[in-house]
Structure 1
Amino acid sequence: MPRLLPALLGLCAVVALAADPAPASAPEPASAPPTTVVPTDLFSVPDGMEATLWAQAPQLRNPTNMDIDHAGRIWVTEGVNYRRHHGRDPLGDRVVVLEDTTGDGVADSSHVFVQEPGLIAPLGIAVIDNQIVVSCAPNLIVYTDVDRDLRFDPRVDKRDVLLTGFDGINHDHSLHSVTVGPDGKWYFNSGNVGALFTDRSGQTFRIGSAYHPGTFEGDPRPAWRGPDYAGATSDDGHVYVGGFAARMNRDGTDVEIIGYNFRNSYEQTVTSFGDVFQNDNDDPPASRTSYLLEYGNAGWFSNDGSRFWSADRRPGQDIPTAEWRQEDPGIMPAGDVYGAGAPTGIVYYEGDLFGPAWRGLLLSCEAARNVVFGYLPQPDGAGFTLDRTKFFTTNLDERLTGIDSLRGRTNDELYSMFRPADVAVGPDGAIYVADWFDPRVGGHADHDDTLSGAIYRITPTGVNPAVPTFDLDTTAGQLAALRSPAVNVRALGAGRLHAAGEAAVPPVTQLLDDENPYVAARAVFLLAHLGDAGVAKVRSLVRSPDPQIRIAALRALRRTGADVHAELRQLATDPSAAVRRDVAVALRDSDWKNSRDILVELAARYPLGDRTYLAAWGIGATGKSERLYDWIAAEVDPRIDVKSEAFAELAFTLKAPASAAFFARRAADTSLAPAQRLQAVTALGFNRSAESARTMFDLHRESEGIIKDTTLWWMLNHMNGQWGHTDMAAKIKTAGIYDPETVTVTPSVVPEPDPAHLIPAAQVMALTGVAANGAEKVVACRLCHVVGAEGADYAPTLNGWVSRQSAEEAIYAIVDPSRDISHGFDGRNVVLNDGSEVHGLVIAQADPIVVKSMGGVTQMIPRDRVKAVRWYGRSLMLSADQLGLNAQDVADIVAYLRTQ
């Protein structure tokens, strides 16, 4: 493969030598030019596939996103001016077009489509015929290449800001790319920096949160508005917070929010059946790949957007559970939660190049882990299985470096430079991966000053597939475009066939029998747009023996605005939980009269434990939950037993005030499992009624263990909030649980270690640890950690900890704990008005502020006594020398921890 940058550097050297006379003495040897691409022999791919280098710098720079047009040209948005490097290219960032003109599998042509100062690290691109859609907050921009010369000329071509109002200029958590769905809608998403925008129908959406990121010198961004409209109602009557996904007509009308409360889903992919998959990054290590339930709440912020997940983390909850609120009512399942990460582009493979076994491959870029994950989602009840594989990677051993959870620490090895920014499928059926190429990912930083980037091509071994051609002026050509494995190329054929109306019904109907089920699904959606004959055909498909086709037919009818009430009644008794899931979400905006019987039927058929189904049913009950609870609690349907676990989960989802008595009984019932009782306590915690407040107080007095701890958490966090209208605060004070006037706050300061006294890790590495001795010395660790079955629940548990990392990392964590702090255990310094300090973990940020300090000691501090809450900046853990340990002690402890 040609390496263009080294070649150009060599050419510059030749020109320089020709211009200057030879030096009198031998010059010092020139340093080798920097390596600007990860060689293909470092990559692992599945058997029968190979990866080749398709393009590299300087053909492109710092790629953030890409799309592939019908001719196989790859369009790339660049982020040279990313974050603190704003202004690095004063002309602005670019959209470049790369092409393999010879068909040899390597790009040989590259030129700029557009470059302008207003393009500052754009995060998305879609090429839809001659419309180039660029996502660059605050704007969603559509460039129309009128003369189709692949170069934007403002004298000829058009530039339209389709939508505007997306916060987060030059920020990762902002507006992302557009994808055309099988319904012809344009799908896009945005991260949690906030958005206040009006669509072309005149609807205004207000999607804010508590997120308020900092700025940097030279920051071009306006003031952040997200917190100003957190919890505000949008014009469609719903409250959305955090990151979100949307779909709309291609002219910007009829925007519909289809999922919300993300942290920062970088991109979405829409299958030909209309299923949406996405990824989302973490705070502590809990990145994930998920099926996006329509209208689903992902759980990052509180429902009003005012609180981060960490403020609502309850006793006993691990980080992934708390971060995605998986024990809260109404939250969709998190999907595959895999830990520390920085997920980026995502795509769903529906082509035939790799054979039928690879159809339905979900590919998700994970820049922090140097990998493109592969999944083959399979229907599982109302959701999907998501079994993860490392489809394309330089890092099979998961030696992570340059990521937030390691404080950005990097190494010089090439494997760690592979930072996949996007993945796409070409019209040739090949898979293309864009590499950002950098030792660092996340932290709003890039360290590669060469501005390098690359695109890799994955094909069957020894195969160089050609880009097919088709004539869009013929029906055959339109059908060929519709069959394309490249998602936005399909829009070319769909658009022409749509325009043909009922005349296109016969040829499109023939696709229903296609051997590729995804092609058949595209036909279902298109037929719904082809007049009365097409709609009639789709209505008949609601009775298809294939549940996926039944789902596609219902979705296709809904997207055209057809009346589907008869279909909803019919499908409410469908044997497929996935079909009934779609019936449920379709009822979100239906009134009580038209939805009651269907919702009851769906409740009677609830498959116990199916959380996707449960969340979907809760979405269908929106605006009707109190009446629905009263109705099913009255046992109008004998199939719904009010003493059953199914009823308890249905009631939990509805959060009706009238359910307080029911959950009070369950929470107090010691014959139930702890998880069932905790669910009942949570249901009371989400209930604003005075009865729930009273019950919570009584439960605290009468319970022990985790129930007592959790009821206390709910009381202290909400006595001045949702239960402020009750006497909760007074009762807590009278009972001596918490009196803000008399409480004593004890300073707790973690002394700063003396760098001169830190035990060198190399010294410990040279020693042989004795596990038996470590078993005695590990008592020092139990001051803050659980080891075995003993210790304080303050810092991360150490069971299995050493086996998950290298001995060197384990040693460093003990001798120099501030070198790398576990995510989720970043300390706070609570500074009191009298100047004293409490160092620890803030586990509640209400009034009082609840802080857990060394040894697991928990204190409740009245907010009016607090001057400031600051980031602590170093580990809350004492170093080995501060604990009185020597090098041999540390070696022994590590040896012992290997056995745990």
Structure 2
Amino acid sequence: MRYFHWLATLAILPNAYAWEHPTTVPDTQLDAFVCSEDFQVTAWAASPLLYNPTNFDIDHRGRMWVTEGVDYRGKADRQPKGDRIVILEDTDGDGKADKSSVFWQDPELLAPLGIAVFDNVVIVSQPPNLLKLTDVNRDGKFEPDQGDTREVMLTGFNGRNHDHSLHSLTAGPDGKWYFSQGNTGGKFTDASGKTFGIGSCYIHEPYSKYVSDVTQFVGKPSDDGFVYVGGFTVRMNPDATDAEIIGHDYRNSYEQTVTSIGDVYQSDNDDPPACRVTRVIEHGSAGFFSRDGSRYWNADRRPGQDTPTAEWRQEDPGVMPAGDVYGGGSPTGVAFYENGAMGDKFIGTLLCGEPGRNTIFSYQPTRDGADAVLNRTDFLTTNPARVFDGSDFVGGVQKQQGRPVDEVKHFLFRPSDVAVGPDGAIYISDWTDPRVGGHDTQDENAFGIIYRVAPKNFKSVVPKIDPSTLAGAVQALRSPAVNTRWLGFQTLKKSGPAAFDAVVSVLNDPNPYLSARAIWLLPYLGEKGIAKLNTLLASDDENVRLTAFRAIRRTDGKVDALPFAKKLAQDPSPIVRAEAALAMRYRPFSEAKEVLVDVANRYDGKDRAYLESLGLGAGKNTADLWAALQKNASTPWSDAFARLTWRLMPEAALPALKTRATNTNLTDEQRKLAVDSIAFIKVPAAADAMMDLAKKDTPVHDQAMWWLENRNDGEWASFHLKPKMEERGLIKKQEPLVEVIVPAKPESTKFTAEEVVALKGDAAKGKIAAARCVMCHKIDGNGPDFGPDLKGFGSRQPPSVIAKAVITPSADISHGFDGTAIQLKDGRWIDGLIIAEGDPLTIRTQGGLTQKVNADQIAGRKPMDRSLMLNADQLGLSAQDLADIIEWLKGY
């Protein structure tokens, strides 16, 4: 349920029909699952106990709280009483839920995407609000007339009934709360009075309610002085004070997980296939939009860049490393396993839901300098053959009817969330729909299933915990369930010095994650706690030193981090030094200088995460830092100093960068870096330097010209470069706009997908026939970046999916390639892909023709009712031609 697809949803506009909860039970298809032979998959709960699960949490008593999305998108009126939050219980201990009760059903609930439970406090992510519900009498029912309370903790989040909206909240080991929002953005004010406006050029509103115009926030700083765009992650105190945006510029980060060491991981979906799993560097940008949020990634795609590099702007300064970019998909819930029933070798495993691939991924992250290595494996899948269907990233099919059961059963596993229970087992919610992406919810039964993965012959035991006592709090802190651990943290923190011995008992645990949970409490445990913390800062284990310093930082200034940062800036560990730099972000340069300079001087010239941490830590002091470093820089520059300059983007470096760009004694790569560095300095002098470099006789002419054309209507648009460029002969006057109208599709096709699949294809002939596709798709480096990349497409999809995509492309448009029709004031039309909003608007049409349309030339615009892709008949393809192309694509 990840992608927004207006064409699919418009086809199923809300209608007034009666829907009652079906009493039938879905097929759990346990024989379809493939996982480690050490584990067993069982069905813990299924409809009619729950329907369409979007997210869930498991409380310290072992009860599962599920948010439902029966009314999602086109089915928004299916339940007039609204969606539900249900509580599932296994009352007889047989390993299966046997009781389902409704905690809350209300018209306010419309496919809520997140829930977190802390004893009798329930946090619900329901745009535009982050809600706090308190079940005062603890009867498992939200009844305001019985004294239960509803509090709006935060409000202003766009995307009601939109999956790029407000996602689940989770507790961190620091006692703080974390949540994420997709790129519908919004504006919210925390309980401290600090306001954040997060915007972009992304607005999709057929079903979704926007409470604020996100375009008004483009390029504008929030109250903390920094500009945030796209999707984002928030960290705050449980009372909604002291909110911080700790990651942003996502497309749609569905959920985050925070390890007990303090590392944050998230998965982010793509546009088109470049989904990824990433460690979030604190305050870092994921790079989906431009720095101000006004431009999509494809508007700034540089010559020669592949999709993952361009989509996540991996060659731009100010962007986090992308992590594991695995291609097409629709990532959902994430969890991190630290202890429990799964065995010691499973400790430290990151789990990520991927419904587009019918899989739960697993990783065991390891340190790599200041970053993490993420090697992906399939923890659980019903699709080991990786034949994907029913998903936007494959141009998925709309209907599964008529297909053999054994062909489609693995498609029906659509994991929406994953979590570790207090019994130490892994639980996974399954939406079960034939379709994912745009979610036209083809399952009229709205079925849902909860699977449990545990060792064979596992007996679930949920400890009885009283987190209000010291003993119970320690027991809670040791829990495999993340939000249960928060209960123990709160009691131990409030107990202060009296809890020291109890906390040390956890600190001495051999499991590094359990031990780390105790470290976060030490700053609150009086003099003995601080003394213990000081000894840990000298530990031989870099993760212990890192966690100890993070614990100091998270005291919100109660313990000054600066003296510790000065020492750790010289630490042998890159990740510890990077953390010292990050701690300087909001400090004046007079305080931060020593730390930042020490960290910069230890940069190896290669570690991208280290460099980005330094830049983020420098915050508003990047120019001052560069000036301080430049005084001691050697001539000629080292490659490390050149990279530091690239990231810090100082205006004072322009003369030297301009000289380096034309220095023929340098390598092509060194000159290219100098030009790129100039392109990211947002001052008129940088534009003047680039115009000088664009002269015909410079060795970087082509690169400089590309940047000028890009920046002219991008980051340098306010400099009004066009007259200067015309005066210098760098550009010609604007060519007249060309009308481009995509022909209407034939009412019927000359052949069917079934007829194509029945034919034997010839790959050699298919390669020749595919030349007709080069008007939209890049093939072997030729062609425009207009349609989805075909590389690897045929190896991932069954022939029937490919055939349908070519024969009837309008039946299911891949997300990110839905077109817009621009009407000009002279009556002409331009059909194409909007790749940059603004004045001028940039639109790309068939054949790769990119045109810039001034606002005063536009009479109106509307979403197209058909695909931008011509179908097989319009391309002059026969059934045999298409069979040949499919055969060629298998090996392309």
Shift of 1:296: 1.0
- C-alpha displacement of 1:720: 5.7
AA of the residue aligned to 2:334: I
Partner of 1:694: 688
The amino acid across from 1:176 in the alignment is: H
Local SS of the residue matching 1:57: strand
1:161 pairs with one of 152, 164, 176:
152
SS at match of 1:506: helix
C-alpha contact (below 8 Å) 2:186/2:211 kept by paired residues = no
Q: Is the 8 A contact 1:432 1:458 kept in 2?
A: yes
Q: Which amino acid aligns with 2:735?
A: V
Match of 1:454 among 449, 452, 469: 449
**Equivalent residue for 1:730?**
723
Indicate how the Cα distance of structure 1 residues 190 and 851 shifts in structure 2: closer, same or farther if over 3 A, else same: closer
Deviation at 1:223, TM superposition (A): 4.4
SS of the residue aligned with 2:624?
A: helix
**Larger RCO, structure (CA 8 Å, separation 6 or more):** 2
Report deviation, 1:291: 0.6
Partners of 2:454 and 2:179 lie apart in 1 by 28
CA contact (8 A) 1:100 1:109 kept: yes
Match of 1:202 among 189, 193, 197: 193
* Unmatched segments (≥5 aa) in structure 2: 1-21, 402-407
CA distance in 1, matches of 2:210, 2:96: 42
Match of 2:400 in 1: 411
Please state whether the residue corresponding to 1:702 is helix, strand or coil: coil
1:753-801 alpha-carbon deviations (Å, 9 max, x no partner):
5455645444444444445555655554455555446566655565655
Q: Is it true that 1:648 corresponds to 2:625 in the alignment? A: no
Aligned to 2:600: 603
- Structure 1 gap ranges (5+): 1-31
Q: Which amino acid aligns with 2:574?
A: A
Work out whether 1:354 is the aligned partner of 2:346.
no
1:477 to 472, 479, 487: 472
Task: Report the equivalent of 1:282.
Answer: 270
Closer, same or farther: CA 814–262 of 1 in aligned 2, 3 Å = closer
Aligned match of 2:11: none
Query: TM-score, with normalisation over the residues of structure 2?
Result: 0.90
Question: What is the DSSP-based 3-state SS (H/G/I as helix, E as strand, rest coil) of the residue aligned with 2:332?
Answer: strand
517-526 vs 312-321, greater mean Cα deviation? 312-321
TM-score (norm 1): 0.89
1:298 counterpart residue number: 286
Instruction: Write the distance in 1 (CA, Å) between the matches of 2:697 and 2:505.
Output: 66
SS in 1 for 2:520: helix
Q: After superposition, give the CA deviation of every residue in 1:138-172 in whole Å (9 maximum; x if it has no partner).
A: 22222222332222332233332222222222322
Of stretches 793-802 and 191-200 in structure 1, the one that deviates more from structure 2 is 793-802
Given that 2:389 and 2:801 are in contact with CA atoms closer than 8 Å, whether structure 1 keeps it comes out as: no
Q: 1:682 aligns with which of 676, 679, 692?
A: 676
After superposition, residues 574-653 of structure 1 pair within 5 angstroms as 574-635=571-632, 643-653=637-647
Contact 1:325–1:331, Cα closer than 8 Å, also in 2: yes
Rate the CA distance shift 1:57–1:530 in 2: closer, same or farther, 3 A: same
Output the CA distance in 2 between the equivalents of 1:402 and 1:772.
29
Contact 1:401–1:409 (Cα < 8 Å) also in 2: no
The equivalent position to 2:371 in structure 1, one of 383, 398, 416, is 383
Cα deviation for residue 315 of structure 1 reads: 3.1
Tell me the secondary structure at the aligned position of residue 179 of structure 1: strand
Task: Describe the superposition over 1:253-274 as per-residue Cα deviations: whole angstroms up to 9, x where unpaired.
Answer: 2222212222221211111111
Q: RMSD of the alignment, in Å? A: 3.0
Shifted more, 122-131 versus 886-895: the winner is 886-895
Larger Rg: 1
3-state DSSP class of the match of 1:348? strand
Give the Cα separation in 2 of the matches to 1:727 and 1:63: 51
Distance 2:305 2:278 in 1: 21
Work out the CA distance in 2 between the residues paired with 1:884 and 1:153: 64
Distance in 1 (alpha carbons) for counterparts of 2:210 and 2:748: 45
Matched, 1:240 2:228: yes
**Matched residue, 2:172:** 181
Instruction: Give the deviation of 1:491 after TM superposition.
Output: 2.0
Note the C-alpha offset of 1:467: 1.3
Which segment drifts farther, 396-405 or 324-333?
A: 396-405
Structure 1 equivalent of residue 541 of structure 2? 546
Matches of 2:75 and 2:343 in 1, distance apart? Answer: 44
In structure 2, the CA distance between the partners of 1:670 and 1:445, relative to structure 1 (3 Å rule), is farther
The one-letter code matched in structure 2 to 1:530 is L
**Corresponding residue number in structure 1 for 2:385:** 397
Task: Give the equivalent residue in structure 2 for 1:65.
Answer: 55
Q: How does 1:418-433 map to 2 (within 5 A)?
A: 418-433=413-428
Question: Could you list the per-position Cα deviations for residues 663-710 of structure 1 after superposition, in whole angstroms to 9, with x for gaps in the alignment?
Answer: 3234335665655544433322222333321232233333799x6555
Q: 1:88 aligns with which of 74, 78, 93?
A: 78
Residue 215 (str. 1) matches residue 206 (str. 2): yes
Q: Quick check: 540-549 or 332-341, which moved more?
A: 332-341
* Aligned: 1:743 with 2:735: yes
The aligned counterpart of 1:659 is 653
Change beyond 3 A, Cα 1:843–1:744 = same
Spell out the pairing of 1:857-876 with structure 2 (5 A cutoff): 864-868=856-860, 871-876=863-868
Report the AA paired with residue 453 of structure 1. Answer: G
Residue 868 of structure 1: how far off its partner (Å): 4.6
In structure 2, distance between residues paired with 1:369 and 1:403: 9
Question: Which residue in the other structure is 1:835 paired with?
Answer: 827
TM-superposed CA distance for 1:382, in Å, is 0.6
Q: 1:805 is aligned with what amino acid?
A: Q
**CA distance in structure 2 between the aligned counterparts of 1:837 and 1:870, rounded to whole angstroms:** 11
Aligned length: 861
Q: C-alpha displacement at 1:53, in angstroms?
A: 0.8
Identity %: 47
More moved, 754-763 vs 492-501: 754-763
Q: Which residue, out of 495, 498, 504, partners 2:493?
A: 498
Is the 8 Å Cα contact of residues 787 and 798 (structure 1) preserved in structure 2?
yes
Superposed displacement of residue 38, structure 1: 2.9
- 1:318–1:873 Cα change, 3 Å: farther
Distance change (3 Å), C-alpha of 1:798 and 1:414? closer
Equivalent residues of 2:294, 2:836 under 8 A apart: no
Q: Which moved more, 1:593-602 or 1:167-176?
A: 167-176
C-alpha separation in 2, matches of 1:207 and 1:799? 34
Retained in 2: the 8 A contact 1:243–1:260? Answer: yes
Q: Residues 403 and 490 from structure 1, CA distance in 2 versus in 1: closer, same or farther, beyond 3 angstroms?
A: same
* Change beyond 3 A, Cα 1:737–1:432: same
Cα deviation code 1:172-211 (max 9, x no counterpart): 2222222121111111222222232222222222223322
| DSSP 3-state at the match of 2:57 | strand
- Aligned equivalent of 2:797: 805
Q: Is the 8 A contact 2:265 2:278 kept in 1?
A: yes
Query: Which residue is 1:7 aligned to?
Result: none
